[in-house]
Chain A
């Protein structure tokens, strides 16, 4: 991090080992990723038989064609974007103030709130009562059903609390109070600007969970036009994989045949779907990264 004037030999050695370690990690992780990309554009036969092991074999774009030929896909992208942005803003609005309050040792009742939240990590009433709650609130088939029941996560509140706890200097708060600064101003004008890293992390954690979420949509949404991307993609996948269920019971030969026609594509689509659904969120990461190195400010504020 800090550029020193001159690196000693042991430092150089350490750095070299460090680079080696990271390079190794890179290779280990990279291989399966390349495999997925290659598999998504290879003829499935070669993938299943193991003949395709690194570079694409029997180039085909059928998987992507099938995914993008679905008329619901762009609509799904739009919905997911909306749910993710609105949902994440709500998450931050609920999580950050609560986490900050819990991090304050002079906050009377923080153990009560902490206990209240922790209990929900372990005990929940199950799907049916939750469904009835959502239904009684009139949220069925609305964005509310997707974001309100997951407005905060205890885990994330605790992680954020820990961050505030260990990075916001106590002196800062006392100085602010001495100056007659209210908690409201303290939080919005001092604490939040100093906490870019944790805000970024929280936004990422919550955002990713909204992005990947499909179960609430499955349960609470009736209108196909409101389906998020993951639902649309699952429908494509489920449709392709129905063949697996046709073994047994009285299912017609027509369907077995239709499924067989698609069996080829089914294994292809699996990989294409991964790429289509995760590329945007993987591409987002480098932009969030820069917030992780802003902690330098704390030192300067303190001084």
Chain B
């Protein structure tokens, strides 16, 4: 049913092949459905969008967006000419890809695993417990990371020592920073990430399973050939959306884990902007960097979406 449904989506059904106006009239209610969202995006997103121009201005709050003077690409040049520009770009990209490579598949696997066990006390508790870490604030999260990894008193370090392993300097060694950052993120968000897949898995057609069991397919095979394909559209869409945020590594957690020793691998675009903004409220500069990020992100998303469009049945447009 699924694959058929999607094919139908790609080629408009015969019934609706009349004139555009006729088709619009037929589905006039759908425009009503769009109205609230349309108004919302128009008012709260497109309305304020004139603010982007401050990336090319020297914004002074009291002069306003329109009253501030134009400076052209000055802020962009400053960013590109920074001593650290390439380091920042590399760190941001590598953390993003690392996170994607590790953090993206795990929720899928976990969701599939949840789906295999029957509804009961165990399932409920495991799900609730794995979902809980999502709510731990960044301050507490980083506080825990630092205390678990402290060479003098950290649990994890003492654990490794007990096993006779010489523990690395997790917090000081630049080589370990990204791993610490990504793994702790995975720990915190994998359970939360399963939710969307669990919802998607609820659409699995039981008749397909019954038929497959008749054919003698094993549980594993059914998971691979029935459950997984059901959630493939969701997986694809989420992957596309995630790549559209490739430069979007946030600053809060990194800032709290950053120190002079790991700086060379921990400094990313957002922490750089944060530091610069601290000195004085540099709206223009951070808007310029934000604009750069957006353009790269948008290009990424368009590219990946194009690939998805060619190779699979699902894409954003």
Mark out the residues of chain B between 270 and 312 whose CB falls within 8 Å of any chain A CB in the assembled complex. Answer: 283, 287, 290-291, 294-295, 297-298, 301
| CB-nearest residue of chain A to B219 | A11
Per-position contact with A for B27-67: 1 when CB-CB < 8 Å, else 0? 10111111011101101111111111010000001000100
Residues of chain A with a CB closer than 8 A to B230's CB? 166
Establish whether residues A159 and B237, one from each chain, have CB atoms under 8 Å apart when the complex forms. Answer: yes
Interchain CB contact (< 8 A) of B52 among A105, A125, A282:
A125
The distance from the CB of A40 to the nearest CB of chain B, in whole angstroms, is: 10
- Rounded to whole angstroms, the CA-CA distance of A174 and B316 in the bound complex is 23
Establish whether residues B38 and A113, one from each chain, have CB atoms under 8 Å apart when the complex forms. Answer: yes
- Rounded to whole angstroms, the CA-CA distance of A7 and B216 in the bound complex is 11
The distance from the CB of A248 to the nearest CB of chain B, in whole angstroms, is: 14
A299 at the interface (CB under 8 A from B): yes
The distance from the CB of A238 to the nearest CB of chain B, in whole angstroms, is: 11
Mark out the residues of chain A between 13 and 57 whose CB falls within 8 Å of any chain B CB in the assembled complex. Answer: 14-15, 18-19, 21-22, 25-26, 28-30, 32-33, 35-36, 47-51, 53
A165 at the interface (CB under 8 A from B): yes
- Rounded to whole angstroms, the CA-CA distance of A100 and B218 in the bound complex is 36
- Rounded to whole angstroms, the CA-CA distance of A162 and B15 in the bound complex is 23
Residue of A29, A30, A158 most packed against chain B (CB within 10 A): A29
Residues of chain A with a CB closer than 8 A to B8's CB? 105, 170
Residues of chain A with a CB closer than 8 A to B9's CB? 105, 165, 170
Interchain CB contact (< 8 A) of A123 among B24, B52, B136:
B52
The distance from the CB of B275 to the nearest CB of chain A, in whole angstroms, is: 17
Establish whether residues A166 and B33, one from each chain, have CB atoms under 8 Å apart when the complex forms. Answer: no
Per-position contact with A for B170-201: 1 when CB-CB < 8 Å, else 0? 00000000000000000100110001101111
A155 at the interface (CB under 8 A from B): yes
The distance from the CB of A212 to the nearest CB of chain B, in whole angstroms, is: 8
B139 at the interface (CB under 8 A from A): yes
The answer to whether residues A299 and B50 also contact, given A14-B219, A28-B187 and a CB cut-off of 8 A, is: no
Establish whether residues A285 and B131, one from each chain, have CB atoms under 8 Å apart when the complex forms. Answer: yes
Residues of chain B with a CB closer than 8 A to A117's CB? 37, 41
Main SS at interface, chain A: helix
- Rounded to whole angstroms, the CA-CA distance of A98 and B32 in the bound complex is 9
B71 at the interface (CB under 8 A from A): no
A183 at the interface (CB under 8 A from B): yes
Residues of chain B with a CB closer than 8 A to A104's CB? 27, 30
Establish whether residues B283 and A128, one from each chain, have CB atoms under 8 Å apart when the complex forms. Answer: yes
The distance from the CB of B84 to the nearest CB of chain A, in whole angstroms, is: 24
B241 at the interface (CB under 8 A from A): yes
Residue of B52, B117, B196, B301 most packed against chain A (CB within 10 A): B196
Residue of A163, A174, A281 most packed against chain B (CB within 10 A): A163
Establish whether residues A128 and B51, one from each chain, have CB atoms under 8 Å apart when the complex forms. Answer: yes
A149 at the interface (CB under 8 A from B): yes
The answer to whether residues A126 and B283 also contact, given A2-B206, A113-B34, A285-B131 and a CB cut-off of 8 A, is: yes
* Interface contacts beyond A170-B4, A278-B136, A295-B202: sample of 6 additional A-B pairs, CB < 8 Å, sorted by A: A1-B116, A36-B136, A49-B153, A50-B153, A124-B49, A126-B52
> Residues of B with Cβ closer than 8 Å to A?
1-2, 4-6, 8-10, 12-13, 15-16, 20, 23-24, 26-27, 29-34, 36-38, 40-41, 43-52, 54, 61, 65, 110, 113-119, 122, 124-133, 135-137, 139-140, 143-144, 147-148, 150, 152-155, 187, 190-191, 195-196, 198-207, 209-210, 213, 218-220, 230, 233-234, 237-238, 241, 244, 283, 287, 290-291, 294-295, 297-298, 301, 314, 316-317
Q: List 15 A-B contacts (CB under 8 A).
A: A8-B218, A10-B218, A14-B220, A15-B116, A15-B219, A21-B113, A106-B13, A152-B40, A165-B6, A166-B233, A174-B13, A184-B29, A292-B199, A296-B202, A298-B203
